[in-house]
Amino acid sequence: MRISLILLVGYSSNGEKIWEQWRDDQITSPWQRFDSWFTDLIDLQSVNEFFSGFLIKWRSTTWNDSIRLAVHWYLASNAQAGAVQGSIILMQAAFELLAGTLLVEDKKIITQRDFDNTTKYHAAKKLECLLSECEISLNVPGTLTHLLQAAKDLHWSNGAKALTETRNALIHANPKKRKRLLNRSFYEKMDIVNLGLWYLELILLRIFGYKGKYLSRVARKEFKDQNIETVPWVEK
């Protein structure tokens, strides 16, 4: 969901109003409810911390374009634009974009030449490197029971393989792979979508330097407040 700021007011350090901007031409989506990392049970201090980190990246010439696009892909994927299949494809676009920006442009861990070499750095490898750099586990969470069974049946060693293999079956003209994956249960595909969105939310939070609480979409506990966890890169 997109909500633009349309009635902006600026104040000086002594509280005097010094400018205002009223606009009605901004992008605003119709109301729909979607799950995300955020919930009203998270305190205001955490929200301020998140926004401060977001703003730093937003003002960065390295990150601005990538953040714009990655958030766009995240919103579209979370809204299931193009149904479950569309979500899987769109989130993969965000993963590759963020991997390139973080690993190649920002931290310079991988050269652009190596990153573009699909034999050396295929889609699963790029996602594995991105998750590892963001200190996010590659393992499929134990709560995603349908995906765990699929991973066992299809010999997927981790969550990155599950996501990229499914995406490849959707977009590549290989009928054998397509039949092998797409005929499996809807619940497995929903587990893959939730895994991918969980990865994407954590990756963005890590890039923004966030160290607070978030609502885990893979915790799967009975009550909402039981699914609020500390981001995994913060020592317990």
The pLDDT assigned to 168 comes to 87
d(CA 71, CA 131): 17
Among positive and negative, which fits the CA dihedral 15, 16, 17, 19? Answer: negative
Q: Could you count the other beta carbons within 10 Å of the beta carbon of residue 62?
A: 12
Average pLDDT over residues 13-31: 76
Residues paired with 229 in a beta bridge: 214
Query: How many CA atoms are closer than 13 Å to the CA of 47, on its beta-carbon side?
Result: 7
More confident residue, 149 or 179: 149
d(CA 205, CA 187): 27
**Which residues are CB-neighbours of 3 under 8 A, at least 6 positions away?**
28, 29
Q: Which of 4-8, 37-41, 85-89, 192-196 has the lowest mean pLDDT?
A: 4-8
pLDDT reading at 24 higher than 80: no
Average pLDDT over residues 28-56: 84
The pLDDT assigned to 1 comes to 57
The pLDDT assigned to 31 comes to 59
pLDDT reading at 159 higher than 60: yes
Two tokens at 226?
A: 């039981």
> SS3 for the chain, per residue?
CCCCCCEEEEECCCCCEEEEEECCCCCCCCCCCCCCCCCCCCCHHHHHHHHHHHHHHHCCCCCHHHHHHHHHHHHHHHCCCCHHHHHHHHHHHHHHHHHHHHHHHHCCCCCHHHHHCCCCCCHHHHHHHHHHHCCCCCCCCCCCHHHHHHHHHHCCCCHHHHHHHHHHHHHCCCHHHHHHHHCCCHHHHHHHHHHHHHHHHHHHHHHCCCCCEEECCCCCCCCHHHHEEECCCCCC
For residue 25, name the pLDDT band (cuts at 50, 70, 90). Answer: low
Average pLDDT over residues 187-198: 94
